[in-house]
Structure formats: structure tokens, C-alpha cells
Amino acid sequence: MNGTPLLILHGWGSNSGRWQRVTDLLRKQEIEALVLDLPGFGIVSSPKRPWTRDDYINWIFQKAKERNWEKFNLLGHSFGGGLSVKIAVAFPEKVEKLILCAPAIIRRKRLKTYLFYQLAHIGKKIFSFSGLKKLEPYAQRLIYKLAGSRDYYVADGVMKETMKKLGDENLEDLLAKIKAPTLIIWGKKDDVLPLRDAQELKEKIEGAELKIISEVKHSPHREAPEELAEIISQFVK
């Protein structure tokens, strides 16, 4: 393989296997691409305590060190996008180029989220009665689904607390500090993070490029791997 390697950080609830098609296509173009199963996902066990983004970043750099990577291109999808932003700002000498694929960065107060917390609070009181206790798991599943919080529902105890820690951190202030050439990729029909977030990121990151993939939702690596691989290849070469 020639050139700078590409490190890919997957989204919450995902794993390296879901990026296999993309990495195979990139390797055919002589691009060394590595997707790590982050702790708590894929074949890697959950951490023993709730982690912060800094904990994840320390773990990631240990893996890069094991491969003797002094510098690399960095791609982050969704949750991995937030990690990538922190890495690019904290270690600009390590990141040659940055790709943000529908990153979870822009924080918005949504009515659905507010209702989720209100329902969860009320539901906890209602299902405290012994006769209704057995119905609680079914009600929880419905509430989380309606609120778009399935990731939280299926997470184990440590990962639930990890999600809370991650949610407390504001990454938007870091965007203006990114120095690496940056490409933003978004699915036109993303139903998890709105397309308007892509334009906001482009405005906040100096010199950033934006590529929108039509007919794609939140997972271009699974919905349009060939098109995504081509976009990545053109940017990093």
C-alpha cells in the first residue's frame, strides 16, 4: 500500500464488519484502510467503567502506535465523527486529512427528546406499582423507539452511562479550530441527523468541502459503499 493510511471510526452501535465493503474497495485502489471495533462494540468488550471521549481517544492512539502510524487520514461516522473532531483539534500534527461522515456534533433541543425524558420520568412512577411492573420492559421499548433512542435502550449499564457522559460534551466550539483539510459527507435522506447540520458544519470549518449522496440515509457505508469509497479515494489521494 502507498501513501498515508486511513483510520475509520465507526458510529455508535456499529462495528468494523459493516465497513468491510468500503475498506475492500479502498484497498483495491491501494489505500490502506483500518476500521477499529471501538470498546463496547463488535468484538471488543465494554469498558469496566463509563468512558469519556478522551478515554476512547487514548485507546485509539494506542492502536495507532501499535501499527507505527506517525500520521494518518481520519474518517469518523456519526459518533466516530465526534471523536475525529477532537483528535484533529488536539493532535493536528497526526491528522493529514479529515473526513466527517454524518458526524453527531450539532446539538439541537428537539421536542421529541424533551417528550422522551418526560415520558420516561412519568413511566418510572407508573410502573413502580407491582401489578404493572411486568409491563415495564415493553413500555420502555416503545418509548425509546418513538424517541429515536434505540441505542440507549439496547446499551448495557456501562454503555448507557458512557452515552450520558458523551452527551454532556459540546463539540461545536472545536469546529473553528480544525486545521486539516476537511471533507463532509452526508446522505440526502438522512433520518437520524438532518441535512441542515451538514451545511452548518461546512460554514464552521474553514475550507471544508461538502459531498451529498442522494437516495442515502444515515449509513452510506452500507447503502452506497461504491460511491462512498470513490468519494473517499478522490479526497485522500
Report, in angstroms and rounded to the nearest whole number, the Rg of the chain calculated over CA atoms: 19
Backbone angles phi, psi at 142, to 5 degrees: -65, -45
For 62, the grid coordinates are: 494506542
- In this structure, the strands spanning 6-9 and 209-213 are unpaired
Per the CB < 8 A criterion, the answer to whether 15 and 82 are in contact is no
- Cβ atoms within 10 Å of 41's Cβ, excluding its own: 19
- CA trace torsion 219, 222, 226, 229 (10° rounding): 60
Which residues are marked as active site? 78
Q: Which residue has the cell 489505500?
A: 31
Q: Report the C-alpha gap between 13 and 155 in whole angstroms.
A: 8
- In this structure, the strands spanning 72-77 and 209-213 are unpaired
Of the candidates 229, 198, 225, 223, the residue with the CA atom closest to the CA atom of residue 211: 198
